[in-house]
Amino acid sequence: MRFFFLTILTMVIFACVIPDPYSSVAPGKWRGVLKLEGSKDRPLNKKGKPLTNNLKMEEVMEGELPFNFEVHYETPEQPYLVVLNGKERIEVRDVKTQRSTKTGEDTIWIRFPHYDSHIKALYEEDVIQGYWIVENRENYQIPFVARQGRGHRFTTLKKTPKADLTGKWEVMFGTETDDPYPAVGEFVQKGNHLTGTFMTETGDFRYLEGTVQDNKMYLSTFDGSHAFLFEAKIMEDGTLLGAFLSGNHYKTIWEARRNENYQLTPADSLTFLKPEYGGFDFSFPDANGTTVSLQDERFKNKIKIVQIMGTWCPNCADETVFLTDYLKKNGKGDLEIISLAYEKHKEKAKALNAIGNFKKRFGVPYDVLWAGSSSKKEAAKTLPMLNHVLSYPTMIFLDRKNNVRKIHTGFSGPATSQYDDFVKDFDVFVKKLLEE
């Protein structure tokens, strides 16, 4: 009788065990961390003076950039990721897993194709551990670890905030250097939760998310290209003093004060045509090696927008999404868009492959030409009629006679409060050119 009871109990236990229907990493919420500090020996902030803010950020681990993502399954064999930054959702479909027959270890590759970066890691049960590797930078990798079932970003603490940071801030980055640069901070705080972005004269820092704990604030973003970490202390006078880390290659100090009326230099006044040049022109190869020139027959008597960009640049991706969508909604007609891609890859084949991946991912219906190196100094040499190449992206508006009518430097994308006004102004200006 005892044997019979044990047999029945064993059958019940095994009957209740549901086999895992997924072949690799567990689905659901994950918390990832990039370990920026100490990931390799290198001087931070090469051009600046020693960093002297000495902020003690006891709520978090020093130099750790957290971000959140979800694992979903297209089929039981094929996982994909959704990276979360505030309102932003980035689907990452290029995910592969493999088990080593020699060691029994499980490996996962998570690729961000048009940014030429990937995560390569080992995984088991609820942990992924490895490196984020940027392919178009030499020997660039940052330790990465992720744990399943964790939905918080920086901390689970809920210390009462010393201030509500919601609003507009006048910001200066690089205050410890001889060449600081201005920005506008836009924050929304709800309890401990903080979202927002920074706008500079060359573009915005896209979707940031974080927390306010007592007199400290934290923000981060990771999208496969940007790896930004912001930490700051709320000072007694209400100003902010903090540090900004970009990957493991750059660190600087930033300061901010409330200023609802603060404005950056207008985007239409930063780049201009040199007076000694009569107009704007270019000749660059497309993906097939065919030279495309502004003088080509198909561009005659049409309105042209020339986009200076790079496939590695998230602000350029945001602007490309906007331009592609604009063409779809308004029809091509007498409007032509041509992108000049300045790439980090020196090899032609790799540069063209990056351009091809970019066009495919965003469904770009217009030419994206390979214009050269992403170095702004080198890019300026290919377009000598401009006073400089200050920002990726930059848009040059040409009328039917190829006269430069406006040059818009940088791009304040959908993460900023300026985006809606930009969309309206763009539409009005383009339609005005088309009516002339």
What's 382's domain CATH number? Answer: 3.40.30.10
Q: How far apart are CA 253 and CA 327, in angstroms?
A: 41
Predicted confidence at residue 2, as pLDDT, reads 54
Do 175 and 138 lie in one domain? The reply is no
Predicted confidence at residue 330, as pLDDT, reads 87
Question: In sequence order, what DSSP letters do the residues of 222-270 get, joined into one string?
Answer: ESSS-EEEEEEEE-TTS-EEEEEEETTTEEEEEEEEE-TT--PPPGGGS
Range of the domain at 213: 167-258
Contact yes or no for 249/140 (Cβ under 8 A): yes
Which CATH number fits the domain that encloses residue 79?
2.40.128
Predicted confidence at residue 22, as pLDDT, reads 72
Predicted confidence at residue 58, as pLDDT, reads 72
Predicted confidence at residue 331, as pLDDT, reads 74
**End-to-end Cα separation, the chain, in angstroms:** 97
Domain boundary pick from 148, 182, 216 = 148
Do 254 and 271 lie in one domain? The reply is no
Q: How far apart are CA 212 and CA 169, in angstroms?
A: 16
8 domain-assigned: no
Do 249 and 392 lie in one domain? The reply is no
Domain boundary pick from 114, 148, 182 = 148
Do 253 and 271 lie in one domain? The reply is no
User: How many other CB atoms sit within 10 Å of the CB of residue 75?
Assistant: 8
Do 228 and 312 lie in one domain? The reply is no
Do 175 and 43 lie in one domain? The reply is no
Contact yes or no for 286/298 (Cβ under 8 A): no
Do 331 and 222 lie in one domain? The reply is no
Contact yes or no for 295/313 (Cβ under 8 A): no
Predicted confidence at residue 7, as pLDDT, reads 52
205 domain-assigned: yes
Do 43 and 94 lie in one domain? The reply is yes
Domain boundary pick from 258, 289, 308 = 258
Which CATH number fits the domain that encloses residue 195?
2.40.128.120
Q: How far apart are CA 285 and CA 370, in angstroms?
A: 6
Burial class (CB in 10 A: 0-12, 13-18, 19+), 180: middle
Element (DSSP H or E) covering residue 422: helix 419-435
Q: How far apart are CA 165 and CA 233, in angstroms?
A: 12
Q: How far apart are CA 267 and CA 406, in angstroms?
A: 10
Predicted confidence at residue 144, as pLDDT, reads 96
153 domain-assigned: no
Residue 368 has, within 13 A of its CA and on its CB side, a CA count of 25
Locate 413 and state its tokens: 């994308």
Do 366 and 279 lie in one domain? The reply is yes
Do 111 and 31 lie in one domain? The reply is yes
Predicted confidence at residue 54, as pLDDT, reads 54
Predicted confidence at residue 24, as pLDDT, reads 83
Distances (CA, A) of 19 to 22, 73, 99, 104: 9, 16, 19, 20
424 domain-assigned: yes
What average pLDDT values come out for the chain (436 residues) when binned by 10 residues? Answer: 51 47 85 78 39 60 92 92 96 91 87 89 92 92 95 95 98 94 98 98 96 96 95 96 93 96 96 92 90 94 96 94 94 90 91 91 94 95 96 97 96 95 96 94
Contact yes or no for 367/396 (Cβ under 8 A): no
Do 114 and 241 lie in one domain? The reply is no
248 domain-assigned: yes
Predicted confidence at residue 39, as pLDDT, reads 42
Could you give the number of structural domains in the chain?
Answer: 3
Q: What's this model's pTM, rounded to 2 decimal places?
A: 0.87
Do 314 and 401 lie in one domain? The reply is yes
